[in-house]
Structure 1
Amino acid sequence: MRLRVEFTTEPFDLEEPPPHAVAARDLVESAELDAVDVGPFGNSAEGGAEVVLDAVDELLRRSLASGATRISLQVSVVGNAQDAPEEPGKGGGA
């Protein structure tokens, strides 16, 4: 299964990215995610279910530890196992 996560962190600062936004951006850019899109008012990334779920867990922890007071996120299924390559360590079967 492939997932897409879209998220924002608050509070906003239009002058420069606050530490919580930088932490979130650094995390999604360094994770093994596809289609990463980072912007001033929203961010998104796609990947295998386990990779996305692990990244979301770490995103929440790092952003809150860096001063986020609100994190809005949405996770959507964008494909299934037949659409994506098999994840390492996951058994396929015939």
Structure 2
Amino acid sequence: MRLKVEFTTEPFDLDEAPAHAVVAREVIAAAELDAVDVGPFGNTAEGGSDAVLTVVDSLLRKTLAAGATRVSLQVNVIGEDSK
């Protein structure tokens, strides 16, 4: 199945991206996902279930280790994987 993950990390800093936000971008960029959209107030990515679930695990572990005090996320089933 295909999944879509939407997430934010906190605390926010509008002047400079905090370390946990930079780590989140790096995790998403390195993953085998498609339809990635990274922004200051939310991020989304889509992909096969294995890829999305793997990146969610890595995202949580690495952003918390980098100083995030909250990670909000939502995962939705958006269809069947075409592979």
TM bucket, shorter chain? over 0.9
**Identity in percent:** 67
Give the aligned CA root-mean-square deviation in angstroms: 0.6
* In 2, Cα distance between equivalents of 1:78 and 1:13: 31
| Paired position in structure 2 for 1:64 | 64
| Paired position in structure 2 for 1:85 | 82
Higher strand share goes to which structure?
2
Question: Looking at CA atoms only, which structure, 1 or 2, has the larger radius of gyration?
Answer: 1
Structure 2 residue matching 1:40: 3-state secondary structure = coil
Displacement after TM superposition at 1:30 (Å): 1.1
After TM superposition, which residue ranges in structure 1, 4 or more long, deviate above 3 angstroms?
Answer: none
Displacement after TM superposition at 1:85 (Å): 2.9
Give the partner amino acid of 1:85.
S
**Unaligned stretches of 5+ residues in structure 2:** none
State the TM-score, normalized to the length of structure 1: 0.86
Higher helix share goes to which structure?
2
* In 2, Cα distance between equivalents of 1:28 and 1:85: 21
Displacement after TM superposition at 1:6 (Å): 0.1
